[in-house]
Amino acid sequence: MRAVRLFLETVKFEHTIFALPFAYLGMVLAAGGWPRWHQFFWITVAMVAARTLAMAVNRVADASYDKRNPRTAQRPIPRGALSPRVVWGIAGISLVLFFVAAWQLNPFVLKLAPIAAFFLIVYSYTKRFTWLTHWWLGVTDGAAAAGAWAAVTGHLAHPTPWLLWAAVTFWIAGFDLIYACQDVEFDRAEGLRSVPARFGVTTALRLARLCHVLTLLGLIGVGWVEHLGWPYWAGLLAVAALLAYEHSLVKPNDLSKVNIAFFTVNGYISVIAFLATFAGLFLR
């Protein structure tokens, strides 16, 4: 049980809440309501397995950096409380579960699964060669919403999954830009690439704001294409207000509230977006 607790701490399992609501958003839009329970179950398995795979690989890949970074030195792997071999093993199990879930859903998502796995695994190494790492993460996470649509319909031949993918891509990239501002000096010293390290914190925060404007535009497109009812638009106003609040918490010379912006506010955003969409489907 201690090993399980340490692993869940390592991969921040509770933060699955960021990704699941947007995957469910794609799912209910594709189904025009609630899908079959078989689909719901395997979409959930695929999402949890994919995120666990990505986080497990990330923690092992970054272990040497985390050990030298004062902000991350007390994570279970750097402090020696959890073996990298255990984490690699769970990553392997997660990869298998991800493919099993894709196989259970439909042939189309099974064909796409290797591409998704590639992006999930390679993300952990992108900071070594490109400052576009924030958008790589966004594209990878955004695929969850489009993938859930494909899991229900068996195709992506519709504007909605692409609009969702774009909206989540810029949402994730935006708050990853904010989060990365904490490590700007460390990244520069270690030769790691990120927008804050390359262009500075002020530029990173401006780009984060631009990303979140694009997120709202993508979500407006979803509501328009799907003819969603007033609860969706009310929820979108709440999301816009939360994004504005998130950006008010962080300033180039004061990053003390990054964790509130990153964890608390974004958790609310994802849940509100899903609930508003689900209600908007029935009141359009």
- The pLDDT tens digits of the residues spanning 228-271 come to 999 999 999 999 999 999 999 888 888 888 777 667 788 889 89
Report d(CA 120, CA 143) in Å as an integer.
10
Contact call for residues 167 and 183 (beta carbons, < 8 A): no
pTM above 0.95, yes or no: no
Residue 149 to residue 164: CA distance in whole angstroms: 10
Mean pLDDT of 96-106: 97
d(CA 76, CA 58): 13
The DSSP 8-state label assigned to residue 70 in this structure reads T
C-beta neighbour count of 189 within 10 angstroms: 12
- At 2, is the pLDDT very low, low, confident or very high (cuts 50, 70, 90)? low
Residue whose pair of structure tokens reads 């990505």 in the numeric block: 54
How many beta carbons lie within 10 A of that of residue 237, not counting itself? 13
* Whether the predicted pLDDT of 4 surpasses 90: no
The residue ranges of every structural domain in the chain are 2-282
DSSP secondary structure, 18-29, as one string: HHHHHHHHHHHH
Pair of tokens at residue 281: 């489907």
Q: What is the DSSP string of 200-256?
A: -HHHHHHHHHHHHHHHHHHHHHHHHHHT--HHHHHHHHHHHHHHHHHHHH-BTTB-T
- For the CA atoms of 279, 41, 146, 174, the dihedral, rounded to the nearest 10 degrees, stands at 80
Confidence of residue 12 (pLDDT cuts 50, 70, 90): low
User: Would you say residue 48 has pLDDT above 80?
Assistant: yes
Mean pLDDT of the chain: 91
Axis crossing angle, helix 107-122 with helix 84-105, rounded to the nearest 10: 160
- To the question of domain 2-282 being in CATH 1.10.3720.10, the answer is no
The answer to whether 27 touches 149, Cβ cutoff 8 Å, is yes
**Quick one: average pLDDT of 98-127?**
96
**Residue 117 to residues 58, 84, 90, 174, Cα–Cα distance (Å):** 13, 20, 15, 23
pLDDT at 22: 85
Instruction: Encode 135-155: b = buried (16+ Cβ within 10 Å), e = exposed.
Output: bbbbbbbbbbbbbbbbbbbee
Q: Which residues contact 166 (CB under 8 A, 6 or more apart)?
A: 142, 214, 218
For 38, 98, 250, the CA distances from 13, given in Å and listed in that order, are: 23, 16, 25
What is the distance between the alpha carbons of residues 29 and 91, in angstroms, rounded to a whole number?
30
Q: Distances from the Cα of 17 to the Cαs of 21, 169, 256, in angstroms?
A: 7, 16, 23
Does the structure show a pLDDT above 70 at 15?
A: no
Q: How many whole angstroms separate alpha carbon 242 and alpha carbon 262?
A: 11
User: Among 62, 69, 63, which residue's Cα sits nearest to residue 81?
Assistant: 63
